[in-house]
Structure 1
Amino acid sequence: MKKQILLVAALLPMLAKAQSNTFTITGKIGHLNAPARVYFDYTDFLNAGGGREDSADVVDGTFKFTGELSGIATCRMALAHHGDGKMKAVYTGDVIYFQFGPENFVISSKDSLSNAVFTGSKVHDEEDAYNKAIGGTIMAITKNANYDYSSGTEAQRADSNFLKAVDQKFRQRVADRTEKQLQFAKEHPNSVFALVALSEVLTFKKDMAEITPVYNALNAKYRNSKKGKEVDQRIKSVQLTTKGAVAPVFTMKDVKGHPVSLKDLRGKTVLLEFWASWCSPCRAENPNLKEQYRLYKEKGFEILAVSLDSDKKKWEEAIEKDGVPWIHVSDLKGWSNEAGILYGVTAVPAGFLIGPDGKIIGNNLRGEALNKKLAELLN
């Protein structure tokens, strides 16, 4: 008996650990039934764990997901009301984005995920307070911009001044949100959402003299997390990738698994292009890049495209469909792509034009700005 008691006592810490890392999400959306299906994708935010995905049928409006999670997860959940597939649900349907922890909570609504109420999630309550403090999510701001555009008359939507006004309003909202995010991080260094805020701030603000001390004041457990170290690297990379700096070198495998080094392209004018198969603006730029590549390849121009994909098949399909003949590499780590972290990439498309001497000529040159610069350099 004593041996059994000792055995149970030894197992208790293991059981407690397992229980503390478990999450359960229960959904109740009206009275939907088959073929309705929910698609669930999540990634460990702090530890940059590989993306995980799951799906579930909806029975009388109910669905459930369970799993293991060591910290905080960033999640996308999409509901295909009529069973018409994940992609349609994600890009044109009923989709929400949120963060959660190892907790048990309920998502409920009478009609849709987008109108759902969360019950029992402390992480979501904190996220909700954070979003209110900074002026809403970037998706909400984008949605407002789309509404501003669609509310215009047909004549207005064809007017460049109207489009410029909509764009300026959108950019001002983003700028205001960025400042509020930085302020939130200053005032809440012990909140995980301070790290969330700084990881987004770096996309829109490059004043490292202001950002660095805010980062340094964060709770050590967040700075020492894998995500915290990525943010630190991105802060440092802004100084490493300014115009005139020597472009940081890296080696990454191409589609066939062969290593490709940026250093081996010295002597050429190189466009280091960060993109992904799922990035519509990236794909939309490819026809222009193909034309520039045709014009200047024989004059020493090369494109090294680094994909932030995590699915090799989708990466290969995009290359083939777009017919892009330049060099393609990826480590298939998504946003944790090592070259992306090295260059401080927080959004795609992102490009760095590098001279034959290995020094950066310009950042984020696209469309006509890129064409003009290439003509200046190579004609």
Structure 2
Amino acid sequence: MKITKLILLALLFPILASAQTPNFSLTGKIGNLNKPAMAYIDYMDNGVGHEDSVALVNGSFKFSGYVSGNAYARMALDHTGGGKGRAVYTGDVIYFYFGKEQVTITSKDSLQNAVFAGSKVYDESEAYNKVIGGTIMALTKAVNIDFNRGTPEQQKDTAYIKAVDQRYRQNIQNRTDKQFLFAKNHPNSYFALVALSEAAGSKVDVAKVQPIFNALAKELKATDMGRELAQRIEANGITAVGKTAPLFTQNDAVGKPVSLASLKGKVVLVEFWASWCGPCRAENPNLVKQYNTYKDKGFEIISVSLDNVKERWLEAIEKDGLAWIHVSDLKGWNSEVGRLYGVRAVPASFLVDAQGKIIGNGLRGEPLNKKLAEIFN
């Protein structure tokens, strides 16, 4: 028996070893930057997040690792030693797709002006973005340029601001229409799945999305992105007002399992949020007020965090004074409860009555206050 186990381990070892062998590299050369300049990368591979950092030496840096398929990355370059947060939100940042490839990234001065070579996946993503009219970041940059073309007087004029906004919204709608068309016309392309996933949004038009999704190649639907989109399509039906709220159990901040079923008999707000979400944090003072007003009348809140760093999650709870139930699996956008409810943007909420039926979807601010007053007063 021992010999058999040894043989099995010997047979499995090459497989296990190969799974750890790096199959991609991202080699960069940005000018002649040296310390304290740092490059940071965050990337998603089949639903799993990864991050890394490296100091630049004479402008050079390299990331390598293992991916199971195509990955989506955010890379930030900190030129002056201000740290990752500053680099990501106010610095030199790019977003891109790559695969099991040896990629080179070169520029004289910045990531934003970098040229990619050696990546078929990157080239395909560029071709796809050209067809649909550019990335969201590109459209956002364009609307800022559009706004800044106005004189100082025009920039204070509501009619001018409205016209700029309307042009931007029309460009977004045009892009979405082209994404649906791309997904329909290229069912074997990875970027058909990317297009459909993004165009579908949080409130999925099932009649429109389902047929296109069904026509996609089987291997695309089997990816994490494909499975998530399938969950989102399904969630559109099971989280509608009048439906029984999907049950879940998740650990609280001290590791104790909390179930939605255990709160039956109370009116419950299932609130999806994150410590990094500005609109979520802005709504918290109102939630505190409503909770304190109605908690003794049978109102409860269970906040599901889409954080992936426990310390930041707990710090936000304490800082905002959120004295209700908090749960999270710390998987970020891959939160099991978030995926169950089809949540792709925060804040998001579902108001559940004492019998477990959803009676409100996306309520916050005054609409939430009004609904709670109707129930409890």
TM-score, normalised with respect to structure 2: 0.90
In the alignment, what sits opposite 1:366? 364
Structure-2 separation of matches of 1:166 and 1:288: 32
Q: Displacement, 1:366?
A: 2.2
Structure-2 separation of matches of 1:85 and 1:48: 26
Q: Displacement, 1:37?
A: 0.6
Name the stretch that deviates more: 52-61 or 198-207.
198-207
Q: Give 2:233's match in structure 1, choosing from 227, 232, 235.
A: 235
Structure-2 separation of matches of 1:157 and 1:327: 44
Judging changes above 3 Å, is the alpha-carbon distance between structure 1 residues 41 and 322 closer, same or farther for their aligned structure 2 residues? same
In the alignment, what sits opposite 2:30? 29
Name the stretch that deviates more: 197-206 or 92-101.
197-206
1:90 counterpart SS class: helix
Deviations 1:136-156 (A, max 9, x none): 222223334445556666666
Structure-2 separation of matches of 1:190 and 1:347: 27
In the alignment, what sits opposite 1:48? 47
CA contact (8 A) 2:22 2:64 kept: no
Asked if 1:211 is matched to 2:212, the reply is no
In the alignment, what sits opposite 1:103? 101
Structure-2 separation of matches of 1:168 and 1:343: 31
Structure-2 separation of matches of 1:117 and 1:77: 14
2:47 counterpart SS class: coil
In the alignment, what sits opposite 2:297? 299
Q: Give 2:341's match in structure 1, choosing from 322, 339, 343.
A: 343
Q: Displacement, 1:204?
A: 5.3
CA contact (8 A) 1:20 1:102 kept: no
Structure-2 separation of matches of 1:65 and 1:277: 28
In the alignment, what sits opposite 2:91? 93
CA contact (8 A) 1:271 1:303 kept: yes
Name the stretch that deviates more: 169-178 or 330-339.
169-178
Structure-2 separation of matches of 1:369 and 1:160: 26
CA contact (8 A) 2:190 2:220 kept: yes
Name the stretch that deviates more: 79-88 or 68-77.
68-77
Cα RMSD between the aligned structures? 2.4
Structure-2 separation of matches of 1:378 and 1:163: 41
Unaligned runs of 5+ in 1: 1-9
CA contact (8 A) 1:178 1:205 kept: no
Unaligned runs of 5+ in 2: 1-10
1:255-270 equivalences in 2 (<5 Å): 255-270=253-268
Structure-2 separation of matches of 1:58 and 1:38: 7
Query: Share of identical aligned residues, percent?
Result: 61
User: Counterpart amino acid of 2:47?
Assistant: A
CA contact (8 A) 2:301 2:325 kept: yes
Q: Displacement, 1:266?
A: 1.6
Judging changes above 3 Å, is the alpha-carbon distance between structure 1 residues 297 and 126 closer, same or farther for their aligned structure 2 residues? same
